Structure 1
Amino acid sequence: MLIRAEMAKIVLAGHEIDAVVINKKDSNVHFGNCEVYVPSQHAILAKVIISAEMQHVTGE
């Protein structure tokens, strides 16, 4: 999941949207998620960009 989150950050940077990846994975049990945060004024656009990118990559 960290790789996908970092890829999302790179894609958003290409659209001039600042993003931060937060790794919420518990290092003891290796369970958890990574989250990508963007400024609230860019949240909807970031979601659209990432959704479009995922559709392009997966072919869905």
Structure 2
Amino acid sequence: MPKMKPHSGMGKRVKVTGRGKIMSEQTGKRHLLEGKSSHVTRRMTGTVEVAKADVKRIKKLLGR
């Protein structure tokens, strides 16, 4: 049976905390920033917990 290999791209995008939560950067802060207010762009800084619907898929990609 071949080895399970984690998805290297997903490993660069998310971080697993000590308690097992999956954290990622907030979405929506890459482009089209002129149209967004500074209040909105400030709110999008930092990391957030990944949506519950995506956790199973992401854990599979990470090989966990």
TM-score scaled by length of structure 2: 0.24
TM-score scaled by length of structure 1: 0.24
Compare the two structures and name the one with the higher helix fraction: 1
